[in-house]
Structure 1
Amino acid sequence: MAGAALRLQSLFEQLLGAPLPVRIRAWDGSEAGPPGAPTLVVRHRRALRRLLFKPGELGLARAWVAGDLDVEGDLFAALDVMAGLVWERGEDARGLAEALRDPEFRAAVRGLVRLAGPPLPPAPPPEEVRRPRGHLHTKRTDRRAISHHYDVGNDFYELVLGPSMVYSCAYWQTPESAGGTLEDAQRDKLELVSRKLGLSPGQRLLDVGCGWGSMAIHAAREHGVSVVGVTLSQEQAAYARKRVADEGLTDRVEIRVQDYRDVADGPYDAISSIGMAEHVGAARYLEYAGDLFRLLKPGGRLLNHQIARRPERDESAYSVDEFIDAYVFPDGELAPVGTTVTQLERAGFEVRDVESIREHYALTLRRWVANLEAGWDAATRLVSPGRARVWRLYMAASALAFEHNRIGVNQVLAVRTPDSGDSGLPLRARVWSAPGRG
């Protein structure tokens, strides 16, 4: 159909009630929209059917993952200008029902239906997780969710994460150091965790959700501790064990495929949990905190590094992000940092320090996106075009979410303080400087 792009622009602006901030290129080659803006490429009418049958974020994500939608130009800029029209509008069934009472909105929907063609709902892309709801965060469902996200091939993670093989927020020393290497920033993060935990030779460290072994290796090699690292991913464990052997640390580092709930060989002097607690779930979080508390010696420290969401006015109405749940982290849940601190304290911990490193994660994600884009052809061979598109969208959107303070990440240092009350921490654990001075 000639002029499909102009028709789409008009219909979308009717639906959104605002000018479309991106340019559109339709399947017929036509273009419409502001010159110089990022271009939304609608490769197939099927993209419209996905949006009609699943309005909002999940429909857009399905069209993106399937390759029915694409962005030409700066992906970050495109997502940034579209966020206010899609992700921040809070679309739900009640809002859609209210919108459908508007005659102009209904007319725009009918126009999209005609433009989309036969009204058959397309099958979701194969990367989408399809499973019954309920009974979340059992050992079986957690193992399956972890496998979906992490057992996609270590070569793919090497391409995205780089040589450090650390899949959590790096630590950039100052804003000016954003031009430094990702590997240096990840090493600095591991060292920051080690120093907060007060690691010293002869201690035992439990690394919960040890990933590919980077924290375990750093702690053993640089601080002389003995480490047990646990993960639910078979591929991560195999990779980590080889790295440990290559470093000559098999006498000090043990990597297990084990649920944290099954660890029974405490007490430990310290526990690191870096980017793992997002998988625990709200219903299990107090149990998680209690398990780690019992595994520590009196005076032992926990460093809990965890992504946090902003609190809702009505927490009972909070829902899990549909795209993330379906394509990225099945059963993952984010909590406000205040909730995390409260649950740790309920389990018996004394929380001694909370450090927000939100801006650091945005910098880290932009480096991961750059790695993926630079190795795009290899990435699509290692996984699939759909899975690679999932990762590109998820990491770019997440970087923007951190930059705009929609989500954060915090390091919470907690102590199993003994009855004597001596936490073992210095009076001034951190040194602050004036704004703009480092």
Structure 2
Amino acid sequence: MTDVAPRLVALAERVLEEPLPIRVRAWDGSEAGPPGAPVLRIRHRRALRRILWSPGELGLARAWVAGELDVDGELYDLLSGLAGLLWEKDEGGSPERRVLALARDPDIRAAARELLSLGGLLPPPAPPREEKRRRFGARHTPGRDRQAVRHHYDVGNDFYELVLGPSMVYSCAYWEPGSPGRTPTLEDAQRAKLDLVCRKLALGPDRRLLDVGCGWGSLVLHAAREYGVSAVGITLSHEQATYARKRVAEEGLADRVEIRVQDYRDVSDGPYEAISSIGMAEHVGRERYLQYANGLYSLLKPGGRLLNHQIARRPLQDESAYQVDDFIEAYVFPDGELAPLALTAGVLEEAGFEVRDVESLREHYALTLRAWVANLEGAFARAAALTSPGRARVWRLYMAASALAFERNRIGINQILAVKTPVSGDSGLPLRTREWLGG
């Protein structure tokens, strides 16, 4: 009998109380759902057991990483179809809460029994090995931060070269209009972003730059090569540091660029004229934001500039209710946290900074993520060989879902330019704002 897919679709619509916007193809060859809709392929009944034991996002993610769920066609289309069910419901309408709320309904209990019969009564499958195991102790201590950062970044520089391209910049690019007849490439956009940061910081030969969370060294290299600065880049990843030092040596910039494996809390060799923090503050944690801001403030000379480039989430009525997505916490950025823009700006001001400019790059990050997904999908077998099939699937899902989140305005990304304005009140910025735009 080939009836698994129709039964699953009927069960899903019963629990969700609305039509399922995707088509399902089950391991028995059956299909059900709207004709022409994106197709979710359930390769193994084990996927159902994962969802039964972890309803909602985490169970689905584990099945995806394990290869028990797949998509026929475009992943973006499938995620768009599921977005309204998984991510864009109010809290009372989330799948987990809805299942719990309906648990006493006899029809729902019957549906759960039917799902058990389809998935099997065996114990829950072990999570895929790519999942970060449960961590104990206080969050955002130096030791725990090192473990979290290395889980994400120490997966092989060859893998990151494949995904990020030659620029090796793992943050939002800046997509400027191309010249007539030429569309900007990812490399063009990343170069434009590095240059934008350098101009905002007013870098020059008389300046000393600290890049907090320097990654593979792209910004400090660009700043030293194009603007003549002396630069220090810090990272917690040994793999990133080794790669960055090799690039510095190959470009003959060892006299102007230093790469350290160092926690931002341990930097003590200020003052600097400029500090960049590009995609690093997401790892800091809400309980450490003020410590982070105070530390950067203390490392700047009076009149020095900070460029804080950070993903932002939408504010909540009750900020204490904020929780990181289960998939992100388990597979992507352990202990990572997003803050609303106003919270970040407020903490910088509390530390003493004068916030002078805020620029949203939300649409730019969506374009960047789509370029990274294209790189990954174009060489998926190679990516899986360099890490693991599960890790490559984590990245494909994470980047595609993130692209849609930026496109749908669920999250944003902002560059905040702040100044350690001296007592005299002279910020060092001209009356004409955004002088870095030129013209």
Letter in 1 for 2:87: W
Does structure 2 retain, via aligned residues, the 8 Å contact 1:5–1:30? yes
Seen in structure 2, the aligned counterparts of structure 1 residues 308 and 38 have a Cα distance that, compared at 3 Å, is same
Does structure 2 retain, via aligned residues, the 8 Å contact 1:352–1:413? yes
Report the equivalent of 1:185.
189
TM-score (norm 1): 0.96
- How far apart, in 2, do the equivalents of 1:43 and 1:63 lie? 10
Deviation at 1:102, TM superposition (A): 3.0
Deviation at 1:383, TM superposition (A): 0.3
Aligned-residue sequence identity (percent) comes to 71
Post-superposition CA distance 1:281-310 (Å, at most 9, x none): 000010000000000000000000000000
Report the equivalent of 2:412.
408
Report the equivalent of 2:217.
213
The question of 1:250 aligning with 2:290 is answered no
Report the equivalent of 2:60.
60
Post-superposition CA distance 1:340-391 (Å, at most 9, x none): 0000001110000111100000000000000000010100000000000000
Structure 2 unpaired stretches of 5+: none
Report the equivalent of 1:73.
73
- How far apart, in 2, do the equivalents of 1:255 and 1:429 lie? 33
Deviation at 1:175, TM superposition (A): 9.5
The 5 Å alignment of 1:30-179 reads 30-89=30-89, 90=91, 91=94, 95-174=98-177, 179=183
Deviation at 1:119, TM superposition (A): 3.7
Does structure 2 retain, via aligned residues, the 8 Å contact 1:15–1:109? no
- How far apart, in 1, do the equivalents of 2:187 and 2:135 lie? 40
Deviation at 1:23, TM superposition (A): 1.1
Letter in 1 for 2:65: V
The question of 1:300 aligning with 2:335 is answered no
Post-superposition CA distance 1:19-63 (Å, at most 9, x none): 111111100111111222111000000111000000010010001
- How far apart, in 1, do the equivalents of 2:223 and 2:186 lie? 19
Seen in structure 2, the aligned counterparts of structure 1 residues 237 and 50 have a Cα distance that, compared at 3 Å, is same
- How far apart, in 1, do the equivalents of 2:171 and 2:38 lie? 29
Seen in structure 2, the aligned counterparts of structure 1 residues 92 and 416 have a Cα distance that, compared at 3 Å, is farther
Letter in 2 for 1:343: V
Does structure 2 retain, via aligned residues, the 8 Å contact 1:353–1:412? yes
Bigger mean CA offset, 225-234 vs 175-184: 175-184
After the TM superposition, which parts of structure 1 deviate over 6 Å for at least 4 consecutive aligned residues?
A: 175-178
Deviation at 1:121, TM superposition (A): 0.7
Report the equivalent of 1:271.
275
Post-superposition CA distance 1:223-255 (Å, at most 9, x none): 000000000000000000011111111110000
Letter in 1 for 2:302: P
Bigger mean CA offset, 212-221 vs 307-316: 307-316
Deviation at 1:128, TM superposition (A): 0.5
The question of 1:339 aligning with 2:343 is answered yes
Report the equivalent of 1:436.
none
Seen in structure 2, the aligned counterparts of structure 1 residues 96 and 8 have a Cα distance that, compared at 3 Å, is closer
Post-superposition CA distance 1:293-344 (Å, at most 9, x none): 0000000000000000001121111111110010000000000000000000
Structure 1 unpaired stretches of 5+: 434-438
TM-score (norm 2): 0.96
Q: Secondary structure at the match of 1:84?
A: helix
Letter in 1 for 2:161: E
Does structure 1 retain, via aligned residues, the 8 Å contact 2:65–2:128? yes
The question of 1:316 aligning with 2:320 is answered yes
The 5 Å alignment of 1:304-383 reads 304-383=308-387
Letter in 2 for 1:382: L
Does structure 2 retain, via aligned residues, the 8 Å contact 1:358–1:408? yes
**RMSD across aligned C-alpha pairs, in angstroms?**
1.7
- How far apart, in 1, do the equivalents of 2:95 and 2:262 lie? 39
2:434 to 427, 430, 435: 430
Deviation at 1:116, TM superposition (A): 0.7
Does structure 2 retain, via aligned residues, the 8 Å contact 1:113–1:119? no
